Amino acid sequence: MQRFCPPPGRLVDRRIDSGRNLAEFSEMGYDVIGFGLMPEFVRHVR
């Protein structure tokens, strides 16, 4: 990811699940936003 879109940048995750990807990309310096259909996943990630 960093090779083609180096931070800082903005990423959208359309399936947040546990939020692991959002956390990792945020730690790399990206501005992240996630969407999810499962309320329990959204609550967990918040």
| Model pTM score | 0.69
What is the tens place of the pLDDT at every residue in 1-46?
Answer: 778 888 889 988 887 777 888 889 999 999 998 887 777 767 777 7
State the pLDDT at residue 31.
Answer: 93
Q: Residues 16-19: contacts with CB within 8 Å, 24+ apart? A: 16/41, 16/42, 16/45, 17/41, 18/44, 18/45, 19/44, 19/45
